[in-house]
Amino acid sequence: MAIRRGRGVAAINYPTGMNLGGDPTQALVHSTPTGNFMVTLSSVDLGQGMKQIMAQICAETIGVPTDRVVVDTADTDTGPHCMGTFASRGTHRAGNAVIQAAREARQVMLEVAAEELEVNASDLETDGQGNILVKGAPQKSISIFDVALSAHFKRGRSISGRGMFLIPRSYPEKETGAMKPSTCYAHACTVAEVEVDDETGEVTVVTVKNVFEIGRALNPKMVEQQLVGGSWMGISHALYETTEPYYPNRDHGGTDFNQYLMPGPGDLAETEIIVLERPSADGPYGAKGPGEMCANPQIPAVANAVFDAVGVRIDTLPITPERILRALKAQAAN
Amino acid sequence: MELRKNYFADVRKDDLNEIGQPRPRSDSPGHVTGKTAFFADRNFPGILHLKMVRSPHHHARIRSIDTSEAEKHPGVVKILTAKDVPHNVYTILILIQVGPEDETVLADGKVRWKGEAVVAVLAETERAAQEAAAKVKVDYEVLPAVFDMEEALKPGAPLVNEYHGQNYYLYDSGECRKVRFGDVEAGFAGADHILEESYQSSPIEHAPTETTGCVVAPEGNDRFTCYTNTQAMFFTLDNTSIILQMPGSKLHFVGGTVGGGFGGKVDVIVEPIAILGAKLTGRPVCFIYSREEEMQISSPRAAEKVVIKDGVMKDGRIVARKVTGYTDAGAYSRHSPYGAQKGAGHYPGPYTIPNVWIDTYCVYTNRTPSSAMRGFGVTIGDFALEVQMDKLARLIGMDPLEFRFINAYRDGDMKAHRQPTEGAALIECMQEASRAANWPVAEKYMAMSSYVKGA
């Protein structure tokens, strides 16, 4: 009887957005009288930080600091239609809608600035700090604060924009299944190291090294929180979780967190996250949806590591001590 | 976390001001100081609590429902049964033309899973609602139930859902979604080895911190404001409008920060009945799942069975792959026909295989309806595919990581569903994993690229 060590690898891809498309999201952007910007959506922030990302996307596109953007969302009286927050679609779909709306607002903003500065709008650029400058002559400038005041009180312009993003729906061909499930895919490769106690069947995940390719890390800190959380969830799926432990038997289902097993802080592996960025052609600033895929590769990586450690295949999830011990017993009997 | 900027530097401009910056989240201070408002923070004078009477049987005919004792219970204000729901038989994907309507808001004549909602009780307190619910008498005639997908698909199995007429979802392509690419039998015939393996999962709970729920307030102008933690505002509003036969203009949905979704809050379960309760009583109503309801009543991730048959050459090339996937939808569709179909678009994984055959089935059984969850249609498939890859590598005596390089998809490769690969990055992820995990592979694999040669 011994603690046996093994490692396993898995590589995966994952589609961004609702399968087969046809999932619209709209956005509205407008400026306040003093040049702050309001993004209006009906998308839902599930705790992953969607509002923050939409603010950064709007700020980047208009050319102002993020703290000058406020996001109002998840209200059907004020926000235009969003299909919902699911299918790794929030950043990709709503982000593209926000970019389109922000571009339209930026154009009006530049036109008003051009009138104030008596130049062509196409000769203007933003400095990202709240000012609009004449290209090549930065001493000639106007603040966005003043541009907004002018638009509201002097020029009678609405610095605002409408955004819409829709991937046309694809219908699978009946006989061949020819279809377009998605326009872009995130990628991952995970290596997991485990220790298996061949007496108790208990698995300890020692390290998980994840490489994720996500198009563009729009906010690296938020990417990290999502990827680390996903990696933990993957381990949890591999080793612990089910509402029906003896499926298809319906008995023994957990009804609270005492009975429904999930890893606690002491069960979490040393986790490494490495991010690659290959911008997607149709993503907002190249972003893909990493929200779902980051929880997938750990499951097979752990399963393969268990085999590497003790030489038995557990092809049924979750990989419980009971299943490992039964497999070891069957292996010994052969 | 490390960003490895050396990969794909030639196709990426790192010249942005706000994007790519690790700005602190504007909502974090509210979360950590307890100031963030969630839907359940709304309270209104005179609010009623809704509790469900649920089926104790997996499959049964309802002979009669007697609510007389429950109605007399102190604090009870209103009791709702199927006849009170204007459009009681519904399905949520009808909004994108995926029918048929196959589920009841409140059971009508039959229950098809243990835990199915039969009667809704609205009372002054949660306790009164709970106690009154226990006094509702439902006379059931228990029917044979089926729990196993293979049993459910056999001729003569108990019929789970009459609205489908058979125990699987009928796609326009027939009993399953199909993908056919190349000639899979010819591929098997020419292969050095064949490996056929079967993989199985069990239902999994989303386990959000905040359970599913909503608070509804009738407004003075004949409208209803529904504070909800749904993941999809208009999807829920529009389905509620259909179920209640109420113009959407009468409905105002307000979300906000949600305490975790993971796909568990896209089913439109609590809002319609709570709004109906508010309409019929003229009072605010809350309907919030207990943790037990969240775990056993709310849709889990589907159990899946995946059978993979591969033909592989000694040199490491996979020449044929046949995948048969089964998704256990439970008693009703919800999002499962979509999930099974998404699986068909995902197989055979991120590998270029010349001969592919895929069938994915959405199967009905007498269990808690499953639905969307993080990785919907893909997570369990990836478990199966990647364990299969490990087995194949060992079968031909090859390093499992090198084996994946040989088969990895690259830009321009035609996928089984007949889309050319674009934006691939699997090879680069594996190269970086090789370095990070100190898992060396031959130099020729480290020299590979996802780009089209010469492009």
Q: What is the pLDDT of residues A230-254, one digit of tens each?
A: 999 999 999 999 999 999 999 999 9
Alpha carbons within 13 A on the beta-carbon side of B410: 14
Tokens describing residue B79? 């009791």
- In angstroms, rounded to a whole number, what is the distance separating the alpha carbons of residues B455 and B453? 6
**Cα distance from A154 to chain B (closest Cα, Å)?**
30
Of B16, B204, B230, the CB nearest to A237: B204
Q: Which of B286, B273, B267 shows the shortest CA–CA distance to B227?
A: B286
Q: Which residues from chain B sit within 8 angstroms of residue A38, using beta carbons?
A: none
Residue of B nearest to A217 (CA): B20
Asked if B295 lies within 8 A of A224 by C-beta distance, the reply is no
Contact call for residues B202 and B303 (beta carbons, < 8 A): yes
Q: Which residues from chain B sit within 8 angstroms of residue A307, using beta carbons?
A: 390
What are the boundaries of each domain within chain A?
3-16+182-333, 25-165
Among A14, A89, A131, A211, most B C-beta atoms within 10 A, so best to mutate, is A211
Contact call for residues B228 and B289 (beta carbons, < 8 A): no
For domain A3-16+182-333, say whether CATH 3.30.365.10 is its number.
yes
**How far out from the chain centre does Cα B342 lie?**
11
Asked if B375 lies within 8 A of A293 by C-beta distance, the reply is yes
**Cα distance from B406 to chain A (closest Cα, Å)?**
13
Residue of A nearest to B408 (CA): A11
Q: Outline where DSSP puts E strands in B98-212.
A: 103-104, 110-111, 117-123, 137-142, 177-181, 193-200
C-alpha to C-alpha distances, A285 to A27, B2, B29, B244, nearest whole angstrom: 17, 20, 27, 41
Burial of B396 from C-beta contacts in 10 A (0-12 / 13-18 / 19+): middle
In what side-by-side order are the strands of the sheet with B60-66?
A: B110-111, B60-66, B137-142
What residues contact B338, with CB distance under 8 A and at least 6 apart?
A: A19, B93, B98, B372, B376, B377
pLDDT for B308: 98
Q: Which of A275, A293, A186, A288 shows the shortest CA–CA distance to A224?
A: A275
Contact call for residues B27 and A51 (beta carbons, < 8 A): yes
pLDDT for A334: 86
Contact call for residues A29 and A102 (beta carbons, < 8 A): yes
| Mean pLDDT, rounded, for B74-93 | 98
Asked if B180 lies within 8 A of A293 by C-beta distance, the reply is no
pLDDT for B453: 63
- In angstroms, rounded to a whole number, what is the distance separating the alpha carbons of residues B271 and B240? 7
What is the set of domains in chain B, with CATH numbers? Answer: 48-142+207-296 (3.90.1170.50), 177-204+300-446 (3.30.365.10)
What does each of the 334 residues of chain A score in pLDDT, given as a tens digit? Answer: 899 999 999 999 999 999 999 999 999 999 999 999 999 999 999 999 999 999 999 999 999 999 999 999 999 999 999 999 999 999 999 999 999 999 999 999 999 999 999 999 999 999 999 999 999 999 999 999 999 999 999 999 999 999 999 999 999 999 999 999 999 999 999 999 999 999 999 999 999 999 999 999 999 999 999 999 999 999 999 999 999 999 999 999 999 999 999 998 888 899 999 999 999 999 999 999 999 999 999 999 999 999 999 999 999 999 999 999 999 999 999 8
- In angstroms, rounded to a whole number, what is the distance separating the alpha carbons of residues B342 and A93? 18
pLDDT tens, position by position, B384-401: 999 999 999 999 999 999
Among B298, B324, B374, most A C-beta atoms within 10 A, so best to mutate, is B374
pLDDT tens, position by position, B240-268: 999 999 999 999 999 988 999 999 999 99
A3-16+182-333 with A25-165: one CATH topology?
yes
Please check the confidence at residue B454 and state whether its pLDDT lies above 60.
no
Tokens describing residue A47? 């705790």
Please check the confidence at residue B42 and state whether its pLDDT lies above 80.
yes
**Cα distance from A25 to chain B (closest Cα, Å)?**
11
In what side-by-side order are the strands of the sheet with A203-213?
A: A3-15, A185-197, A203-213, A270-276, B2-3
Asked if A304 lies within 8 A of B252 by C-beta distance, the reply is no
pLDDT for A36: 98
Q: Which residues from chain B sit within 8 angstroms of residue A327, using beta carbons?
A: none
Asked if A9 lies within 8 A of B390 by C-beta distance, the reply is yes
Residue of A nearest to B183 (CA): A176
Average pLDDT, chain B: 97
Alpha carbons within 13 A on the beta-carbon side of B444: 4
- In angstroms, rounded to a whole number, what is the distance separating the alpha carbons of residues B213 and A285? 35
CA dihedral angle for residue B199, residue B203, residue B209, residue B214, rounded to 10 degrees: 140
CATH topology of domain A25-165: Aldehyde Oxidoreductase; domain 4 (3.30.365)
Q: Outline where DSSP puts E strands in B236-355.
A: 251-254, 285-288, 304-312, 318-330
**Cα distance from B66 to chain A (closest Cα, Å)?**
28
Number of H helices, E strands in chain A: 6, 11
B100: preceding bond cis by omega (within 30 degrees): yes
Q: What is the DSSP letter of B286?
A: E
pLDDT for A156: 98
- In angstroms, rounded to a whole number, what is the distance separating the alpha carbons of residues B218 and B251? 10
Q: What is the DSSP letter of A121?
A: G
Residue of B nearest to A81 (CA): B234
Q: Which residues from chain B sit within 8 angstroms of residue A317, using beta carbons?
A: 200-202, 380, 383
- In angstroms, rounded to a whole number, what is the distance separating the alpha carbons of residues A169 and B96? 10
Of A83, A176, A218, the CB nearest to B232: A83
**Cα distance from B349 to chain A (closest Cα, Å)?**
7
Q: Which of A88, A287, A55 shows the shortest CA–CA distance to B12?
A: A287
Active site residue A111: no
What residues contact B183, with CB distance under 8 A and at least 6 apart?
A: B355
Plot region of B332 (φ>0 → left; ψ -120 to 50 → alpha; else → beta): beta
* Strand duo B356-364 + B318-330: pairing: parallel
**Cα distance from A202 to chain B (closest Cα, Å)?**
19
Please check the confidence at residue B455 and state whether its pLDDT lies above 60.
no
What residues contact A142, with CB distance under 8 A and at least 6 apart?
A: A113, A116, A117, A131, A132
Q: Which residues from chain B sit within 8 angstroms of residue A55, using beta carbons?
A: 26
Asked if A218 lies within 8 A of B147 by C-beta distance, the reply is no
pLDDT band at B14 (very low <50, low <70, confident <90, very high): confident
State the angle between helix axes of A298-310 and B379-395 in degrees (0 to 180), rounded to the nearest 10.
40
Among A46, A92, A169, most B C-beta atoms within 10 A, so best to mutate, is A46
- In angstroms, rounded to a whole number, what is the distance separating the alpha carbons of residues A236 and A225? 17
Asked if A14 lies within 8 A of B375 by C-beta distance, the reply is yes
pLDDT for A268: 86
